[in-house]
Every structure is written in C-alpha cells, then in structure tokens.
Structure 1
C-alpha cells in the first residue's frame, strides 16, 4: 500500500471514530495505528489525523507502560482555558464600542479613522485595563461576526423625480438616430495617469525576489508629464477610439479627439451620414456649461458638414455613460 493510500485509510478511520472517543482514547488509538505501520507510523498518523507528534508519542508511551485507561482523566465538557470574554465581563462591550460605526468619525472617539487596526484596538483596550494581543482581538472580532471590509459606494444621494423620464428621453433619442442609420457616440475623459516608473495597482510575473523598482513619490516627471486619455465609443458599432493628450483636458482636446475618430473610423463606417448624436457627461471638458465646448463643436460641425446634436447625462449619473462603462 502506498503512502498516499495509507494516509487516506487512516484519515477515514479517524473521521469515523473521533466524535465518539475522548482525548485519552484518541491518542492511544493513534499510537496503536502508528505502531502497526512501523518506523514511519508516528509521522503518517500525525499527518493523517492532524494530531501533533508529541501527542502520538505520548500514546505510544502509555501503551508500552500498560497503564489502565481509567488512570487518565479525559477533559470534561467545557474544560480548558476559559475564553477572555468569559473572564473579562466588560471586554466585549468595550471592543464593540471602539468599532461601532456611529463613533468612528466622532472627535471624542480615541480610535477615529484607525478603528479597523487590531494593533490599535489592542493598544486602546490595554489602556482601558484589558490585557490581550492584536491577534486575540482579531479572533474575538471574528467570533462576533466582524470582518475586515472596505467602504462600498451604495448611497446614491437624492433622486430627482424626473430621473427616469430623463433616461427614457435619452434612450428614445439614441434609438431615433440609430434607426435612421446615423452614428451615435459616447464621449468621456478617463483617469489621468503619470508617465514613468511610478507605482501602479496590479501584479505581473517576475523572478522571485526581484519586483520592479518604482519611484517612492508620485511627483510629475517634468519631461514625461501626464497621460490624459479621452475616449469615443461608437454605440452602434461597439467600437472605440482613444486619444492620449499630454497637457490638459480641454474642450479643444475633446473636439480634436472626435475629429480624429471621424476621420479614422466614423467616415469609413458612415459614409452617407448627415448627422451625429453625442452623449456626454455634464461636467469636465464637454460640460453643458462650457462655452468653448459649444464653440469648438460648431467649428467641427462646419468642417465635417454634419448636423450635430448633444445630449448630456444628468448630474451624478456619469457612471451610466457608455464610454465609462466600456
């Protein structure tokens, strides 16, 4: 019998017996199995059952000495070291008061903004007369149903009574243009990125112990500058175009990106188009209030010979912009 099959056999027998035997019988049974397996028996039994090597060796000694089972007292239910929450009556209440979300931002709270650190929690509990380590704080929190979590964006804020009607209007307008075979695009500026050897989220495969070296501080490199992506998404063709600027997100840059998309992609796909619908956010370079955006857009319409219509998403709904989702 191979070692793997031996481990499975021992584990199967142990799982069948463990619920009905106490600690003393458990270690003697493990010792008997180990003795039957020979020199490697202690290691194999410990590996299969999860019992420690000293426990199995202790069972071996008891079998050799022939001491009756009645001499050994099995641990009674509830025996062993008492939990800290049972010995310290105020520990749980004091701990929950520290992590209570209602007191997290309270200036009088001793742990505002740091209440999720078990090290800080243990330090503050020690100041209150509770002696326990950061690891124990974590165990107590887990037993009480706590877990380490980050913030989640779920609060939308006030909902405008016409919000549904606004989106229904936008949807109807997009369908109207698409039914006529006219292009509909969604535009948006994406997150600015520093250019150079800066730290960024994510991981990649490298030789062990040789992580890529990046700068400690995220200061703009005067020579390389920043990358400013501005995207155009063709909602009918499910294709996109992104231009990357190196100065600022301005209406002139936004219009230049739309012009490039039209020359490189739009005019090829829609050679007979007479109109264009642009869906944009209410802020940024393509803001509904940006005068330069409207001026540059008129220049582009004259240049391309297209009737241009712009529909802006309501404030606070930019995440529904197709360009942002893409």
Structure 2
C-alpha cells in the first residue's frame, strides 16, 4: 500500500533551494490533513548536515543518499537511485521544484516508474478520498486543468514561490535513514567534468529579494540597460513581462507571470508594465509593489503599494542615482 508524501530536496553547494523548503512547508500541511508521513529525500555528498534543516521545516523522516557520484546532479545517476528508492518504499506522491533539475528529472523518473506526472503546478488540493489534485495552467495561462491519478505514486513539479515558507521549528526531530546509492552502470553514460558558474552577479529570479521588471513600455531590448543599472545598485534580479518576451526583447527565462515564473520578492518594481492578469498572477505575492507607468489608468496601479505616474526613462535613472547615494 502506498504511503507517505516525498519531497525531493534540491541542494546546490550544500545550500537547500528555497523551493524545496516551500514544498516541505506545504507538504507538512498536507501530511497533517491526510494523516500521511512527510519524507524529505536528499542526494549528494557531505549532506548529513542538511538533515536538521529539513527536519525543522516539517519532515517526519529524512532519507540521505550519499555518494561521490551524486555530488553534482546528473540525470542518469539521480534517476537510477530514486527509481529504486521509490519502488522500495512506495510513496503516495513525489514532489519536486519545477526548476531546471526538476524539469529534467521528473519526466525521466515518471517514465522509468510507469506513472503519471503533473508538471509546472501552481496549486495542490485534497479531494474527498484524500487524493492529491494538482492545478496547472494551460493554453498560455488562459485556463487551468486539475490533474489526479489513481496510480501511485503521482509525480509533480511545483513552480517556485507557489507556496509560502513556513517558520522553522528547531525543536523538531526527524527519523534519519541512510541509504546506499545503488546506481546502474548503464545510467552512468554521462560524466560531469565541470560546472561553469554564470558570469552575472544578479540573483536568480525566483529567489531574489528585489526584482526590477520591464514591460512593453521599455520600447525595445536596448533600453533594458536602464533597469540593469538600477538592479546592480540595489542587488536585484531583472525580469520581464510576457509582452516584452513575445517581442523578443528578453529571453523567456526572465518572464514573470502565469506562463513564466512565479516570484514573491520583498520588493517588486514594475516599469512600463500595464498589469495584465497573467502578469499579476506571477508577482502578486510580492510584499511591496512599486509601479512606474505613464498611464494613470494602468491596471498595475490597482495592486501597487506605491505608484509613480511618469516616464520610466526619466524616473528610473533618478531612482538609480538616489539609491547610489544611499548605498554609498
């Protein structure tokens, strides 16, 4: 009989990614509601010290799989290990972040197990039978579908910032289980030689505390240097609306919105963004929203904490200079 809700904890250089902590927080609520056990699974090398972190964030049980071959993520090794673990333990559901790793790992794992996958989900509900139902956008964000499965386990990737972080309870203690990395030789066809660090010093969009985003009002790709200058002064990430991405001004990886990335920074500065409902769905959980737009009727002002009616090409450089004075 299938049992337990698993969260595959993603870590980079022994730092747990924020989306994994979000999933543990939500997983704790679901486990309490359904009477299931919440299990955190961590793969890597030198990972034993991470057990207390996931325990304090809600895990009842922590499975550690430590091996030199798992020090860096590779598709084959991680798929091989998790396939055998899941077959052995038979969890109800397996959750992971809809990150580069999650998007690579989850479909391969689902195929290997012969089970269903709900990808890029933005919500989880519990039905009358205590089954998990996953909400995901379709048709370019114009509609939602709800995905459930009677075959166990169901795998799901969850969009970062879908769920709020919980408050860690350092008094919590979880059962720690150490498993051996059983990796099939056929799954080691690719060997990781080097990890290249991106040259940009800006934070990743989904994990940034401050985001400066530009929309159609930027008028062209060459004008994003204005936002980048502000972002570099205040330590922000740079985002874009769907209109800017569809126009070819920014890459899709920078898109904020229902069909892009969901973000929840402390401060979100929207420049030349009208405030389409699809964009608001991706940044509405920001703690403070500042909108800069020439149109006083722009919908973005309805959700903004502070609004500036003005030309962003005049306002943003002034803000940049004022922030330079503050940080110096």
TM-score tier (shorter): under 0.3
When normalised by structure 1's length, the TM-score is: 0.24
Decide which structure has greater strand share.
Answer: 2
TM-score by length of structure 2 reads: 0.24
- Larger-Rg structure: 1
More helix by share: 1
